[in-house]
Structure 1
Amino acid sequence: MRITLISGFLAVISLTPVGGWGAPSKVCSHKVKETVVAPHGWVKHSVPPADHTITLRIGLPQPNFHILEKHLYEVSDPYHDRYGAHLSKEETEGLVAPNPESIHAVNKWLESHGIMESDLVRSPAKDWVTLTIPVNLAEKMLDTTYSVWKHKSGDQLVRTTSYSLPEHLHEHVELVQPTTMFGRFRRDKSTIVWADDSEIAPVQTFAAKILDSVSGVAVDPTCKSTITIKCLQQLYNTVGYIPKHKNNSIGITGYLEQFANKQDLQSFYAEQRPDALNSSFKFISVNGGLNSQNLSEAGAEAGLDVQFAFGLSHPIPGTFFSTAGRPPFKPDVGTPTNTNEPYTEWLDFMLSSTNVPLSISTSYGDDEQTVPESFARRACAGFAQLGARGVSLMFSSGDGGVGDNDPNPETQQCFTNDGRNVTRFIPSFPASVTVVGGTTGIPEVAVSRFFSGGGFSDYFPRPKYQDRVVQKYLKALPKGTYKGLFNPNGRAFPDVSAQSDRFRIFLSGRSILIGGTSASSPAFAGIVALLNDVRLSRGLPSLGFLNPLIYSKAAAGFNDITIGHNSGCGTTGFNATKGWDPVTGLGTPNFAKLRKLVV
């Protein structure tokens, strides 16, 4: 053994661990790193078997992330000299790499527990270390006790509410998960309307078109009851535009065993986009994700996403990513792991890839308060890296209004996660990307069959690009409105919106209607892919992180939605109004205007 001075603290480190994993070879004191209160709805259920394995992700600090963030805003600001000068994969990795001292300190700690380099998986930038170990070893390393926690929905996870690290490691480790993360990572509601075929409006009509007074465009009258590719092309002014650039791309993320069926896609194309017939998408498995083509296993969410995103953007090449990573803990089945964090699995894969789609939509999320702030910030740092590389990321805003659109105070779930359990609006995660809310009808109004998620983050401060429009909205609110229920200084969302109800898709060979902000996000991503084509065709780089652009130069390219609200938490929520609002954002896209504003 030897005594080594690390960062001012004495630590006894064994050169050769004895007895394999978990050998007691250190005598340095632990200090609490993170403590949370179990979120509303979770109760401690049982003790996991000692040999139950858990996959831990250790995040090392990124001391130069502020430089990456500076680059991100410069290359995303249409008025900056560096606009569009996106970073390379290698450049972004260099800006998030940890200090060598942190890598060394963490290595020595792991070695003291018998964990060698061959047991580890490192991210390309070495800012994440992943290892799979028995839960009893994790408890020893983190000086904690894991339990099986059960949610009232029946979901079960192995988690703890507090963990510690040797004191000298605190400056070298930013977080260790899954430990205190109780997020359930759910898809946004895709509300299916199981109507008879006779009840679904036909996609062709010879009736006179109606005028959308918001956008000023003429739309087929059937679009009032059924949304098709043709409806979105008309509403958002893309009729006649044919993408041509060969280096463009669009992607859809799939999670939670949602499979995108190619036969359904062909049926959809035959009906709504016949020029796309016999074309398909590229499938990429992430972390063992599957995409069964059994028609009976087709996913409504996945089908909605690929049919409309790829249908709107055809012939731009599309990719569907299926990410595994949500097995619940079931002691009787012997589930090997229970890491319910597919965001990070997907981010690991994308950040290590050299060829990433330029426009990507995701229709899955969490309540922000169920995601530890340290983890939320690191996940968003990953999104920032993709943005700096020229990728536009769209996420749906959720369908719970300002938190939970259940009007019954007895069953609503709008409670704080700080032990007080007081009523509060619940923002969604993530909110640091481009967030897409929902509209419906002609003329368009905020969706009302469910409610467009919107509000203000409790974790992330409002970025400067939002200041003018958000402050204007807040000043117009009657004094004292919802005081204490939301953070007026937080990052506000959504940023934009799109149609989100009664989308006609094919599911397991049958046409159905489906709705939710999980429809608006892929629809908006399809429009972004078209805008990327405009830029690429002129020899310009892709749009990348959209928000600084859409809140400035491109703001005039959106149809302002001024009617509707987003109920939740026993309230009517916020109102849509002139200008930006936390229901529909800046509004819905007008491609004909935007294509002139983005070049």
Structure 2
Amino acid sequence: MLLTHIFLVLSLAISAWGYPSPAPHVRHESRHALPDGWTPIRRALHSTVLPLRIGLAQPNLAEIESLLLDISHPDSPNYGNHWSAAKVAETFRPSQEAIDAVYEWLASGGINASRIKLSKSHGWIEANTTVVEAENLLKTEYHVYRHFPSGAEHIACNMEYHLPEHVAQHVELVTPTLHFDIKIGESTGNLQKRSIRPESGAKLGPSSLGSLTTGSLQSIADDLENCDQRITPACLRALYKFTYVPVATHKNSIGIVEYTPNVYVPSDLDMFFTNFSASQVGERPQLVSIDGGAIQGAQSSFNDNGESNLDLQYAMSLVGKSQPVTLYQAGDFVEGASFNNLLDALDGSFCTFEGGDDPSQDSVYPDTAPGGFQGPEDCGTTKPAFIISTSYSYNEVDLTPAYTARQCAEYAKLGLMGVTVLYSSGDTGVAGRGNLCLFPNGTQSTSGKIFSPKFPSTCPFITSVGATQVSPGAKVTDPESACEQVIFSGGGFSNHFAMPEYQKSTVESFLAKFPPPYPKSIWNATGSRAYPDIAANGANFVVAVDGEFELVFGTSASTPVSAAIFSAVNDARLAIGKKSIGFLNPTIYASSFKGVFNDITNGTNQGCGTQGFTAVPGWDPVTGFGTPNFPKLLEKFLLLP
């Protein structure tokens, strides 16, 4: 250790004399095309200061899947033996060798030690550099890019960057470089929803058919005859045989994530509860404010209130009055927030003050803008709920493989700690958000032909939820179909992640029995992560929004519904002294869990000028294994340790 630090001092001294040691560079990250809407407008000024952040390679990350399987697979003797946060941090703490290699490289590029900072977690190294210094270090060029639909500007490097070969092995990614993970909540839009009302433009919330007449709402609270036209909590309970009274609410927890400016309206909650769950009138979610997240009392618009109202009205009514629901409201009304800002609150090692985020892409607090949140950034301040439901997404192509891999690893760490993370699979079938599809060079357009998967649904360490429907004219007791009203269930195959071990036999069986009728040039047939994993109803939800009831569509609905059902499973396990179910996928893909979902065998998820994939017997990339059958799920999970 002493020799290492002596070597660093010598390296800094050599740098000060201007004799850096040359080293061969290798390409570390690249992209073939820019995200949709972005165009370079000028070279970045050489004097511009960049907060260069280097994410260090984490030891044992190559084994994270096997470590997660060890505590999540139903056949493992260690099932349910979840890790502590301290054990997770220690297992993946970067080595001193990695730290020294990066410090030496920065010093050789003329970066004085006073400008270099190591995060407390040892996961990130921050160096404040000028553009010209960063260009020399990374062998690249920086440009200013403009997003013309919104006018937003962003500094990024030109298509690729390089690292010395001996440094590259110790680095996962460097920011800001190629990443365009612009903050959720901006007008550019990062949600997977689309509008069906042409006059409203590009919407950031779930899709709505508009308000319902008062007459159409009379006596529908317990009406099961018209679930093909209006979904209510009673319809969902009938569809999934979901009857359960929580008994371990003091032990259990469920969290719904929302990103400002998407917020709920308290009066809308009461309007919904008055009609569908009278005992909950006046009930509110337990607010966990992340980086200034707050609730505005005024009604605003479907874009601002639709998502959060939908998520909370159905999650809260399904879990019932006795089970508190936590609301993770991320971001103030000026900056908003990103997925990384949420992870900051759940894991302090990811925070900006420790070098984890990129201020050009993620929100940074205190927010100095007028009306911005003036408090310190939330870092490791939030205990994760056992179930976390999120109804937002990116197009996978908009992010680099290294970026998605690092974020995906954070979800795996939550799984190690016994947390179930659910994400909606998207509403545009095999197409990306905005119905964008890909060309061979990686560019996006509505005229593209290559399927465009969604992230984080493509992360192997979350559970992706697709959408179904009660088809027009069908009864609530009839089999559901894949959703083909207004929206199409997102599904397909990742272009970033390999197929995880837990789903190989299932997906390979699907491909052998039901080979997709498309050339392999338009979908990734190379053995990649397939999604969704499960599904739930996502059509014709009756939701109170801004003082009116509307019919709402989307996997935004499917995800909180699934979260509520799995939260009940957790409650039953906790009540008899067992652990939470944690990472779901190894369990639901196991042969012992066959038949615990209602198989969906009708419908497609069209997009990119095709019918997309087809729902077939067993798992498929439209509805996964199908919709929950609560009694069967509960029975199986209660038999596990």
Shift in Å, 1:237: 1.3
8 Å contact from structure 2 (residues 309, 543) kept in 1: yes
1:396 to 416, 424, 429: 424
Shift in Å, 1:562: 0.8
Which residue is equivalent to 1:550? 588
1:434 to 432, 438, 463: 463
Q: Are the structure 2 counterparts of residues 15 and 24 from structure 1 closer, same or farther at C-alpha, using a change threshold of 3 Å?
A: closer
Shift in Å, 1:327: 8.2
Cα distance in 1 for residues equivalent to 2:522 and 2:228? 35
- Residues 489-568 of structure 1 aligned to structure 2 (within 5 Å): 489-552=527-590, 553-568=592-607
Q: Are the structure 2 counterparts of residues 16 and 483 from structure 1 closer, same or farther at C-alpha, using a change threshold of 3 Å?
A: closer
Please give the per-residue CA displacement for 1:475-528, whole angstroms capped at 9, x wherever unaligned: 223575343221231111100000112212222333222111111111111111
1:165 to 163, 166, 175: 163
More deviation, 154-163/107-116: 107-116
Cα distance in 2 for residues equivalent to 1:319 and 1:270? 21
Shift in Å, 1:53: 6.0
Cα distance in 2 for residues equivalent to 1:367 and 1:515? 20
Cα distance in 2 for residues equivalent to 1:325 and 1:468? 45
8 Å contact from structure 2 (residues 212, 548) kept in 1: no
What TM-score, normalized to structure 1?
Answer: 0.85
Q: Are the structure 2 counterparts of residues 271 and 243 from structure 1 closer, same or farther at C-alpha, using a change threshold of 3 Å?
A: farther
8 Å contact from structure 2 (residues 156, 177) kept in 1: yes
Matched, 1:81 2:77: yes
Q: Are the structure 2 counterparts of residues 278 and 291 from structure 1 closer, same or farther at C-alpha, using a change threshold of 3 Å?
A: closer
Cα distance in 2 for residues equivalent to 1:590 and 1:535? 17
Unmatched 5+ stretches in structure 2: 185-189, 194-205, 349-379, 471-475
What TM-score, normalized to structure 2?
Answer: 0.79
Q: Are the structure 2 counterparts of residues 538 and 206 from structure 1 closer, same or farther at C-alpha, using a change threshold of 3 Å?
A: closer
Shift in Å, 1:591: 0.9
8 Å contact from structure 1 (residues 60, 173) kept in 2: yes
Which residue is equivalent to 1:334? none
Please give the per-residue CA displacement for 1:173-219, whole angstroms capped at 9, x wherever unaligned: 21112311234561121102212434754453676xxxxxxxxxxxx
8 Å contact from structure 1 (residues 35, 180) kept in 2: yes
Matched, 1:349 2:373: no
Cα distance in 2 for residues equivalent to 1:272 and 1:65? 46
8 Å contact from structure 1 (residues 44, 148) kept in 2: yes
Which residue is equivalent to 1:101? 97
Which residue is equivalent to 2:362? none
Matched, 1:452 2:459: no
Shift in Å, 1:94: 1.2
Q: Secondary structure at the match of 1:296?
A: coil
- Residues 143-542 of structure 1 aligned to structure 2 (within 5 Å): 143-151=139-147, 153-154=149-150, 155-160=152-157, 161-183=159-181, 186-189=190-193, 190-198=206-214, 200-202=216-218, 204=220, 220-296=224-300, 298-314=304-320, 315-324=322-331, 342-352=338-348, 353=380, 355-404=383-432, 413-418=437-442, 423-430=449-456, 431=458, 432=460, 433-441=462-470, 442=476, 443=478, 444-448=480-484, 449-477=486-514, 481-488=518-525, 489-542=527-580
Shift in Å, 1:288: 4.2
Q: Are the structure 2 counterparts of residues 116 and 181 from structure 1 closer, same or farther at C-alpha, using a change threshold of 3 Å?
A: same
Cα distance in 1 for residues equivalent to 2:291 and 2:106? 24
Cα distance in 1 for residues equivalent to 2:35 and 2:386? 38
Which residue is equivalent to 2:609? 570
8 Å contact from structure 1 (residues 30, 164) kept in 2: no
Cα distance in 1 for residues equivalent to 2:74 and 2:569? 15
Cα distance in 2 for residues equivalent to 1:17 and 1:200? 76
Cα distance in 1 for residues equivalent to 2:566 and 2:176? 34
Q: Are the structure 2 counterparts of residues 589 and 132 from structure 1 closer, same or farther at C-alpha, using a change threshold of 3 Å?
A: farther
Please give the per-residue CA displacement for 1:220-249, whole angstroms capped at 9, x wherever unaligned: 113221122222122111225334331111
Which residue is equivalent to 1:213? none
Cα distance in 2 for residues equivalent to 1:206 and 1:560? 25
Root mean square deviation, CA, Å: 3.3
Q: Are the structure 2 counterparts of residues 240 and 34 from structure 1 closer, same or farther at C-alpha, using a change threshold of 3 Å?
A: closer
Shift in Å, 1:157: 3.0
Letter of the 1:426 partner, please give it.
S
Cα distance in 2 for residues equivalent to 1:120 and 1:482? 49
Shift in Å, 1:141: 4.5
Letter of the 1:413 partner, please give it.
C
Shift in Å, 1:320: 1.7
Please give the per-residue CA displacement for 1:412-448, whole angstroms capped at 9, x wherever unaligned: 5332454799731111112221000001114311111
Matched, 1:142 2:142: no
Cα distance in 1 for residues equivalent to 2:300 and 2:35? 35
Letter of the 2:66 partner, please give it.
K
Q: Are the structure 2 counterparts of residues 355 and 25 from structure 1 closer, same or farther at C-alpha, using a change threshold of 3 Å?
A: farther
8 Å contact from structure 1 (residues 236, 591) kept in 2: yes
Please give the per-residue CA displacement for 1:371-429, whole angstroms capped at 9, x wherever unaligned: 111111111111000001000000000111111598xxxx8533245479973111111
Cα distance in 2 for residues equivalent to 1:326 and 1:69? 37
Which residue is equivalent to 1:598? 637
More deviation, 149-158/380-389: 149-158
Q: Secondary structure at the match of 1:521?
A: helix
What is the number of equivalent residue pairs in this alignment? 562
More deviation, 108-117/187-196: 108-117
Q: Are the structure 2 counterparts of residues 285 and 126 from structure 1 closer, same or farther at C-alpha, using a change threshold of 3 Å?
A: farther
Letter of the 1:253 partner, please give it.
V
Letter of the 1:223 partner, please give it.
C
Q: Secondary structure at the match of 2:518?
A: coil
Q: Are the structure 2 counterparts of residues 556 and 395 from structure 1 closer, same or farther at C-alpha, using a change threshold of 3 Å?
A: same
Q: Secondary structure at the match of 2:496?
A: strand
Shift in Å, 1:103: 2.1
- Percent identity of the aligned residues? 33
Q: Secondary structure at the match of 1:239?
A: coil
Q: Secondary structure at the match of 2:54?
A: strand
Cα distance in 2 for residues equivalent to 1:398 and 1:542? 27
Cα distance in 1 for residues equivalent to 2:169 and 2:274? 58
Cα distance in 1 for residues equivalent to 2:625 and 2:549? 32
Matched, 1:60 2:56: yes
Q: Are the structure 2 counterparts of residues 179 and 417 from structure 1 closer, same or farther at C-alpha, using a change threshold of 3 Å?
A: farther
Shift in Å, 1:46: 3.4
Letter of the 1:181 partner, please give it.
H
Cα distance in 2 for residues equivalent to 1:120 and 1:132? 9
